[in-house]
Amino acid sequence: MNIKREDALKSLAERFSIFANVVTTQNRAGFNDINKSAERLFIDILNVAYNLRLRDMNSIQDNYPAIDLGDYYERVCIQVTSESTNQKFRKTVAKFKEKQLDRDFYTLVFLIISNKELCSLSDHDIDTKVINLNDLYKQIANLDDRDVFYIENYLAQNLVSRIDSNKSILPTSLITNHAAPRPDSFIKFLGLEDELEYTEQLLRDLKKLLHTISNLTKHQREYLFYVVAYGQYAKTMFGYNDESVIVMPTSQLQQTFGDFGYEIFQVLYAQELLFVNDEYQPNNDGRYIRVIEPYFRGELDDTNLFSDIRKFVHSDQSKLYRAIIECDFSFLA
């Protein structure tokens, strides 16, 4: 084992151990907020460790029953919990069956993030697994160097000592309540000031977008900012710019961010913030290139908030930086 890899694995072991201890201690004291934040924290790690495409199920439906994360392609779902009692297991499995989630998922995994003993129960009808952070660490230890370094860096960015950073062990993005004034200027820019229904949809979309990007890591927000701010407007078949579509060649992203950027792209792609277009013709001459398109789908039809915000600020990169990196939408007011 090379020294760099060994150091990364030691760091991971320490961070997992500290995190499990903190969860256990806080839960005993009656503080359970950290359990909810952990769902978002572990999505990236689990996706890389087990080669999955997990999504936050609460982004699909508020208070999604029985499970926290789901991969519809591999048909695996995960509940991230600090509880490992037989009662918790039976209750979750019963809710899983009641909601007929077996139509979408074959395997139900319990990820125990505390130091409690693992439940040993199983179920005759569905495939269940119970793992803890030790099991997750062992899985990571078998990954390629690139993946080990990515996960270690991700946790370094997102798990900080409560003493060392804002009295919290969680990333600021997970504990900050981002508020913004009503975006009246942006509403007027889109021509919705007299359309109450569409205005309400836009406000909900902006709130959802703000929540989504604030829960990304800083590196993920930086990657997204680069695509939105430095991408080009797509060319139509008549040679005009389509300002509703931003594109960036995948080759440009590879040259800029390398392999580390590809891991970030996978996360943003899984969260449906970036899309791949394999048939983009920059010159309308039958020659295709592969491009990435930033796009946020909300309630408001045919509206891409990334391109609309960029048009609103006239491609002012400082304001795009505020929006995506700093999660500050106040300039829309």
Whether residue 7 is found in the same domain as residue 156: yes
pLDDT, position 172: 45
pLDDT, position 217: 85
pLDDT 10s digits, 128-142? 999 999 999 999 999
Q: Provide the 3-class DSSP secondary structure of residue 197.
A: helix
The amino acid that residue 60 corresponds to is: I
Whether residue 126 is found in the same domain as residue 145: yes
The last residue of one of the domains, among 151, 174, 197, is 174
CB-facing half-sphere around the CA of 182: CA atoms within 13 A = 6
| β 127-132/232-235 pair status | unpaired
Whether residue 292 is found in the same domain as residue 324: yes
In order of 72, 80, 87, 127, 230, the CA distances from 101 in angstroms are 11, 17, 20, 12, 41
pLDDT, position 180: 58
pLDDT, position 160: 58
d(CA 148, CA 151): 5
The mean pLDDT of 203-217, rounded to a whole number, is 88
The last residue of one of the domains, among 174, 189, 214, is 174
**Distance linking the first and last C-alpha atoms of the chain:** 54
Band (41; pLDDT cuts 50, 70, 90): confident
Name the more confident of 136 and 15. Answer: 136
Whether residue 187 is found in the same domain as residue 170: no
Whether residue 202 is found in the same domain as residue 146: no
Name the more confident of 29 and 129. Answer: 129
Whether residue 266 is found in the same domain as residue 224: yes
pLDDT 10s digits, 124-180? 899 999 999 999 999 999 999 888 988 888 887 777 544 344 444 344 444 344 455
Say yes or no to pLDDT of 10 above 70: yes
Say yes or no to pLDDT of 3 above 60: yes
Q: Which domain holds residue 215?
A: 178-332
Name the more confident of 330 and 180. Answer: 330
Q: Provide the 3-class DSSP secondary structure of residue 213.
A: helix
Whether residue 274 is found in the same domain as residue 216: yes
Whether residue 7 is found in the same domain as residue 118: yes
pLDDT, position 106: 94
Closest CA to 270 of 113, 60, 62, 103: 60
d(CA 16, CA 22): 10
pLDDT, position 267: 87
The last residue of one of the domains, among 140, 174, 208, is 174
pLDDT 10s digits, 278-327? 988 887 777 889 999 999 888 888 889 999 999 999 999 888 998 998 88
Share of the chain above pLDDT 90, in %: 40
pLDDT, position 120: 84
pLDDT, position 33: 67
DSSP 216: S
| Structural domains in the chain (count) | 2
d(CA 305, CA 235): 19
User: Any residues with CB less than 8 A from the CB of 299 and at least 6 apart, and which?
Assistant: 201, 204, 205
Question: 188 burial class (0-12, 13-18, 19+ CB within 10 angstroms)?
Answer: exposed
Name the more confident of 21 and 70. Answer: 70
Whether residue 33 is found in the same domain as residue 98: yes
Closest CA to 294 of 196, 224, 195: 224
Average pLDDT, the chain: 85
CB 261 within 8 A of CB 223: yes
CB-facing half-sphere around the CA of 306: CA atoms within 13 A = 26
Whether residue 206 is found in the same domain as residue 323: yes
Q: Read off φ and ψ for residue 247, nearest 5 degrees.
A: -130, 150
Whether residue 229 is found in the same domain as residue 123: no
The mean pLDDT of 39-63, rounded to a whole number, is 87
Whether residue 123 is found in the same domain as residue 42: yes
Q: What is the 3-state secondary structure (H, E, C) of 76-127?
A: EEEEEECCCCHHHHHHHHHHHHHCCHHHCCCEEEEEECCCCCCCCCCCCCCE
pLDDT 10s digits, 211-242? 888 888 888 999 999 999 999 998 877 778 88
